Structure 1
Amino acid sequence: MSYNIPKISYKRIDHLVTQQNASEAAFMKQFAEGEYYFDTPLVVVNPYLINPLAAVILFRTEQPVSITVTVKGKNSVANISKTFDTATEHVLPILGLYKECDNKVEIELSSGEKSEITITTGKLPELTQEVANIVTTPEYMDGMMMFVSAAGKSLPAGYDHNGDCRWTLAENFVFDMKRAANGNMLMGSYRYSRVPYHATGICEVTMAGKIIKEYRMPGNYHHDQFEMEDGNLLVLTQDFHRDTVEDMLVLLDRETGDILKSWDIRGLYPMNIGKSGSWSDHDWFHCNAVWYDKTTNSLSLSGRHQDIIINIDFETGELNWMLGDPEGWPEELVEKYFFTPVGDVENFDWQYEQHACVVCPDGDIMCFDNGHWRSKKKENYLKNKDNFSRGVRYRINTEKMEIEQVWQFGKERGQRFYSPYISNVEYYDEGHYMVHSGGIGYVDGMASELLLPAFLDPNDPTHEQHSVTVEIKDDVVMYEMHLPSQFYRAEKLHLYHDNDNMCLGEGKVLGSLDVTPEFDTVAEAEELSIAPSEWHEITITEEEDRFTFAGRFEKGCLLMLCLENGEESHNYYISTTARPALAMCVGSFMEADDRRVSLNVSKHGFSGTFKLKVIIDEYKYDTGIHINVAE
């Protein structure tokens, strides 16, 4: 539902889970009521509305048979095949189609019969990026694809060994993508919630694009998650009712979305020490990665704004060790928790503003060393053009509190591989690693000296954004992919999984949003019965669990949103003076016009029908919109 009130735009949208449930119900109803057999199947392209390179094929067979599906590639080594379990009713996800062509899909029954179906696809979503260059071999990739998660004006995508996009999502699912044990993907929700990039929660999504569950969280989701052996999820979050962010971790119940346990980084030690160049009192730690190590029953957490990886006990939350440059830290912390370099100390480098900490099977620690500033002292900060980023592996001895650098890749490439933010590493086996430098930015062909490449202007021909993904085996580069945009992380996966199926049945939205903080004092304003000026371009988007107010306002003006129902009112202050963004890890939500602001208001915590009014400086305007809240 949508309509226009003079000078105000309003629309009501269903959650994507609701839309997908309706889509699945429609094609399953069509299948149930129709005569669809091996030679006359039902074919539905983009069955869950957000993966244009996926389809579903539905048909019946008289006898139980298994089915092998092969999506024909541009050559035989680009074929993608999957065998599905024995049944008489077959609902088959078709993955790995090419854009804008008549894809040939072979279906073979275990009884020996074959047929070929043509599936026609359209254009990719506008923000899905094409590979600029790729160097590898099909033998090395062995049917696997490289998936990337969006950080700039781009979308999640997966590319085969030729660099062809064979998978994408049309919605901006953010931050990390990890495959769960059941074959589905875990990724940040497509629903932006709070400045600068926090999402409502995390989603479990099939490769066909179906959201099985969205786990909403009161403190929202950012950066990373980790699946435990029992299926429950470690998720990075925060508490928006205090003055710091990105300094909490919770354990989510996989079935209910309930929070089972939480850890608070704030309180482990003083916040105003060990500062990186991007430190702020609001975002003092900036936790961007979590890793659970079963051997030590501990959690490793990457704190970008203190150039530190910390390790805490899973049960007690107590600090075990701290990995980073000890310069500027209090002596009592250094003596108790920090490591001393050993081995080839002349070639040893600490990591700075790192991302993606990984615990190797032998206890070594890997991370992406962004190298931003590459010093704890301002007078020693490096220019970006003189800096480097790299993947690095450290060997730590927690008894002797010693550290040795045993491997690195990227320093030798200098500024051409330099990412001051985002990026990740992967450990595959001894000597076999992936290093993804996802935030490379150039101005006039040199590393940008802007604080973050997210602020580069895509319309300026002298500004360039890149990501480079490299895999190294026994010190030989086996894979290298260049993309003309910035991507948060990369992950190499098979498109199909052993457990792949359609996961039929209604998707669920679990957990809850928080109660949006209100403002105690309402500004005095002359009340008008008219709507604000069209210049503000106000839009109101209502969803099942929240609504979003957005518009354009001059910097520094007083802006408040008021919900009124008789004597009951709820009032929200909206800042029109942006907080400096020292860590824009996902720029997907950035507005081209910095006068545009928005506020997402959760419906959690109250109920009723409310008039929506807005205070702009000295006047209170009636938008004419009513918001219905049913708890």
Structure 2
Amino acid sequence: MHKRVWLPLLAALAMPVSAGSLEGLKPIAVGPLGMVEMNPFGLAPLTAVIKDAGHSLSQVKVTVEGKGEHGVDISYPVEERTLANYGGVPVFGLYPNYNNRVKVEYLLGGKAQTHTYEIWANQVDFGSAGASQWAAQPEIKVNQRAPEMADRLYLVNFTGPTGGDAQLAHNNPTGPGAFAWDGTPQIFVTDTQGEIRWYLDPSIHDAKQYDMAGYLMGLHQVDGGKLIFGQGQSYYKMDLLGRLSFKRPLPGNFIDFSHEIQQMPNGHQLMRVAKKDYLTPEGKLVNTIRDHIIEVDADGSLVHVWDLNTILDPYRDVTLSALDMGAVCLNVNLKDAGKQMTKAELASAPYGDIPGVGPGRNWAHVNSIDYDASDDSIIISSRHQSAVIKIGRDNQVKWILSDPRGWSEDYQDKLLTPIGADGQPLSCFKGKCQGEFDWSWTQHTAYLTPKGTLSVFDNGDGRHNRQPMFAKDKYSRAVEYRIDEQKMTVEQVWDYGKERGWEWYSPVTSIVEYQEDHDSMMVYSASAMLFGVGGGLGNFKHSEGAGIVKSNLVELKYGTDEVLVDMDINSNRLGATGYRAVVIKPEF
């Protein structure tokens, strides 16, 4: 019976097919060009390529039309070499769960052509975190937007812990390193209407694979639109359509990338990493924690190493003993909120990713790097020293922006002297200085600006190297300093955030970065109301009533407190914390 049914069918399938009948096997184009290929590289679901189907196009411009009356258009030109690389027209900025209108303008055979495609994109899918999750995606609320900022796009970096994270560890029981700290990435782009227009598929992370676990961090846009970032034991370069230029392992015995990767003018990358199998002065073999900077060339080969254990003083404990142990950046432990470690506890702490002094403990916690091409130096932010430090290629300290207390005699001539607007030195007592000047405390992101100044996000935990009597006296701020390297002085020229008080206080993470196109400062207070750590109310509620982290992004006219953009970006998972935000431009 089965033979009588299937053998004739198989014979029919084996018959020659005429050329005309092959037409039905071709993809169906929905416009004058070729097929629309969604998510062409598997990592950027809100993107597409409209295949060129053999047409030679030039002067291409793409516009993804805004949704509704107040929607934001995303428009960009496309270079001819980019068309060749994709085999068609790249589409970036589709709305999820929506039938998008995408206008493509181009020259074909010397004649101007325009066609508007309708392209459906599916809902955002970051995966499920089970009981800790209350929505499919983070909640974005736009409070204010100046007309000139309408087309602004911000890439936001969240992490959302799930039950499958932190499954791997280094095989070094004496000093396990920071690898167990892991999280599923939530990386997305929002427009100034609070609509998600791009996101990174979380499949780029896998807690069960050594080279794909870790926290995806350090995103920056380089090379005409590409993104660089790192994740645990690997670092990446990827374009906005999700095509990887490379995914590389860290070189040698370097491990545990997190926080920062920067591309230098020569195409090399600077990364904050740690060292595996590091021999301490006492002869113990440990994995270090967030205390090495490496430079790799365009091929991934190691060029230079800055070992902060030998450059700085890993036993300086003034800041460490003032930290709130409830929120030590990557480790959030509510039961320790408001507690501090003693000097004895810091000195005898187990090796691993916990506060403590000496190699193999989290004594430095470097969370940003910048490169100064004027003298081939790096500028680092060390959270657990409440210090911003400039270091040359000769591994020698050039200057230290920090409360001078606790620095040994070896560093006294490197400490910057605070001055007022009149150029006169300011006196300081127990970390507090005259006038409006203040140091930065447990800060994040120390970046140079084209103005010749330094922007820093001053988180403010351990301010003045102590805890305040009342936790709600804590505050964070963005601050800008002017440093005179010849006179070894520092002047505070601008700050913002103190007036917003406790509810804007971010104990960890965050960023401030100058934006040249609008002569503005973009500031992201990424972990405000972090579970009420330090005595907070934790009272920001989503529509269903569960407490969540409330982060806030503002962009301000340079040198003022005039707000151009203000938006709240609130996590969709308990335990999900904002890390940074970056202005993104659709460049192809």
TM-score, structure 1 as length reference:
0.66
Given candidates 371, 385, 400, the residue that maps to 2:472 is 385
In the alignment, is the contact (CA less than 8 A) between 2:443 and 2:456 conserved in 1? yes
Question: For 1:558-577, what aligned pairs fall within 5 Å after superposition?
Answer: none
Instruction: Rate the CA distance shift 1:183–1:339 in 2: closer, same or farther, 3 A.
Output: same
AA in 2 matched with 1:488 = Y
Q: Deviations over 1:156-184 (max 9, x none)?
A: 11111211110111215711210012320
Measure the CA separation in 1 of the matches of 2:544 and 2:64.
39
Instruction: Rate the CA distance shift 1:161–1:331 in 2: closer, same or farther, 3 A.
Output: same
- Corresponding residue number in structure 2 for 1:396: 483
Residues 1:293 and 2:372 are matched in the alignment: yes
In the alignment, is the contact (CA less than 8 A) between 1:289 and 1:355 conserved in 2? yes
Q: Deviations over 1:420-471 (max 9, x none)?
A: 110010012596211111011255xxx43279x9xx9999956320111111
Measure the CA separation in 1 of the matches of 2:563 and 2:448.
22
- Corresponding residue number in structure 2 for 1:119: 119
Question: For 1:168-179, what aligned pairs fall within 5 Å after superposition?
Answer: 168-171=199-202, 174-179=216-221
In the alignment, is the contact (CA less than 8 A) between 1:131 and 1:164 conserved in 2? no
In the alignment, is the contact (CA less than 8 A) between 1:53 and 1:98 conserved in 2? yes
Question: For 1:244-393, what aligned pairs fall within 5 Å after superposition?
Answer: 244-254=288-298, 256-276=299-319, 277-278=322-323, 279-281=355-357, 282-314=361-393, 316-334=394-412, 336-343=413-420, 345-377=434-466, 380-381=467-468, 383-393=470-480
- Corresponding residue number in structure 2 for 1:469: 553
Residues 1:92 and 2:93 are matched in the alignment: no
Instruction: Rate the CA distance shift 1:51–1:384 in 2: closer, same or farther, 3 A.
Output: farther
Question: Comparing both structures, which one devotes a greater share of its residues to strand?
Answer: 1
Given candidates 526, 529, 541, the residue that maps to 1:441 is 529
Q: Which secondary structure does the structure 1 equivalent of 2:501 belong to?
A: helix
- Corresponding residue number in structure 2 for 1:416: 503
Fraction of identical pairs, as percent: 27
Shift of 1:71: 1.4
Measure the CA separation in 1 of the matches of 2:76 and 2:488.
49
Measure the CA separation in 2 of the matches of 1:140 and 1:492.
15
Given candidates 478, 484, 493, the residue that maps to 2:584 is 493
In the alignment, is the contact (CA less than 8 A) between 1:389 and 1:418 conserved in 2? yes
Q: Which secondary structure does the structure 2 equivalent of 1:433 belong to?
A: strand
> What root-mean-square deviation, in Å, do the aligned CA atoms of Structure 1 and Structure 2 show?
3.0
Q: Deviations over 1:315-371 (max 9, x none)?
A: x1111111111123235523x111222216322111111110012234322210001
Measure the CA separation in 2 of the matches of 1:152 and 1:340.
41
Which piece of structure 1 moves more, 36-45 or 387-396? 36-45
Shift of 1:35: 8.2
Measure the CA separation in 1 of the matches of 2:28 and 2:306.
55
Q: Which secondary structure does the structure 2 equivalent of 1:214 belong to?
A: strand
- Corresponding residue number in structure 2 for 1:57: 50
Measure the CA separation in 2 of the matches of 1:313 and 1:339.
16
Instruction: Rate the CA distance shift 1:115–1:228 in 2: closer, same or farther, 3 A.
Output: same
Instruction: Rate the CA distance shift 1:64–1:329 in 2: closer, same or farther, 3 A.
Output: closer
In the alignment, is the contact (CA less than 8 A) between 1:303 and 1:309 conserved in 2? yes
Shift of 1:131: 3.8
- Corresponding residue number in structure 2 for 1:72: 65
Q: Which secondary structure does the structure 1 equivalent of 2:463 belong to?
A: coil
Instruction: Rate the CA distance shift 1:148–1:386 in 2: closer, same or farther, 3 A.
Output: same
In the alignment, is the contact (CA less than 8 A) between 2:514 and 2:522 conserved in 1? yes
In the alignment, is the contact (CA less than 8 A) between 1:51 and 1:169 conserved in 2? yes
Shift of 1:81: 2.2
Residues 1:187 and 2:229 are matched in the alignment: yes
Q: Deviations over 1:180-215 (max 9, x none)?
A: 1232001123xxxxxxxxx12211111112222112
AA in 2 matched with 1:393 = E
- Corresponding residue number in structure 2 for 1:509: none
Question: For 1:521-600, what aligned pairs fall within 5 Å after superposition?
Answer: none
- Corresponding residue number in structure 1 for 2:106: 109
- Corresponding residue number in structure 2 for 1:232: 268
Measure the CA separation in 1 of the matches of 2:237 and 2:309.
29
Measure the CA separation in 1 of the matches of 2:302 and 2:294.
7
- Corresponding residue number in structure 2 for 1:132: 140
Measure the CA separation in 2 of the matches of 1:140 and 1:222.
35
Q: Deviations over 1:238-287 (max 9, x none)?
A: 10213321111111122x21112211111123311143234413011111
Q: Which secondary structure does the structure 2 equivalent of 1:245 belong to?
A: coil
Residues 1:150 and 2:158 are matched in the alignment: yes
In the alignment, is the contact (CA less than 8 A) between 2:504 and 2:529 conserved in 1? no
Which piece of structure 1 moves more, 83-92 or 470-479? 83-92
Shift of 1:98: 0.6
Measure the CA separation in 2 of the matches of 1:122 and 1:488.
26
Measure the CA separation in 1 of the matches of 2:258 and 2:33.
46
Measure the CA separation in 1 of the matches of 2:140 and 2:225.
29
Given candidates 195, 200, 208, the residue that maps to 2:233 is 200
In the alignment, is the contact (CA less than 8 A) between 2:146 and 2:565 conserved in 1? no
- Corresponding residue number in structure 1 for 2:172: none
In the alignment, is the contact (CA less than 8 A) between 2:149 and 2:564 conserved in 1? no
Measure the CA separation in 2 of the matches of 1:325 and 1:422.
21
In the alignment, is the contact (CA less than 8 A) between 1:341 and 1:403 conserved in 2? yes
Instruction: Rate the CA distance shift 1:61–1:112 in 2: closer, same or farther, 3 A.
Output: farther
In the alignment, is the contact (CA less than 8 A) between 2:468 and 2:474 conserved in 1? no
Instruction: Rate the CA distance shift 1:382–1:459 in 2: closer, same or farther, 3 A.
Output: farther
Q: Deviations over 1:103-146 (max 9, x none)?
A: 11122232223222221121111466344321344732252301
Shift of 1:298: 1.3
Measure the CA separation in 1 of the matches of 2:198 and 2:126.
14
Which piece of structure 1 moves more, 239-248 or 456-465? 456-465
Unaligned runs of 5+ in 1: 1-29, 190-198, 501-631
AA in 1 matched with 2:105 = E
AA in 2 matched with 1:333 = Y
Q: Which secondary structure does the structure 2 equivalent of 1:266 belong to?
A: helix
Measure the CA separation in 2 of the matches of 1:234 and 1:303.
16
AA in 2 matched with 1:374 = R
Measure the CA separation in 1 of the matches of 2:579 and 2:448.
20
Aligned pair count reads 447
Measure the CA separation in 1 of the matches of 2:310 and 2:123.
51
Unaligned runs of 5+ in 2: 1-22, 128-135, 162-184, 206-214, 279-285, 324-354, 422-433, 572-576
Measure the CA separation in 2 of the matches of 1:37 and 1:432.
42
Measure the CA separation in 1 of the matches of 2:123 and 2:451.
46
In the alignment, is the contact (CA less than 8 A) between 2:507 and 2:530 conserved in 1? no
In the alignment, is the contact (CA less than 8 A) between 1:274 and 1:327 conserved in 2? no
- Corresponding residue number in structure 2 for 1:47: 40
Q: Which secondary structure does the structure 2 equivalent of 1:60 belong to?
A: coil
Shift of 1:99: 0.9
Measure the CA separation in 1 of the matches of 2:290 and 2:387.
14
Q: Deviations over 1:469-494 (max 9, x none)?
A: 11110430111110112321111122
In the alignment, is the contact (CA less than 8 A) between 2:275 and 2:289 conserved in 1? yes
AA in 2 matched with 1:317 = N
TM superposition outliers: structure 1 runs of 4+ over 6 Å:
32-35, 456-460
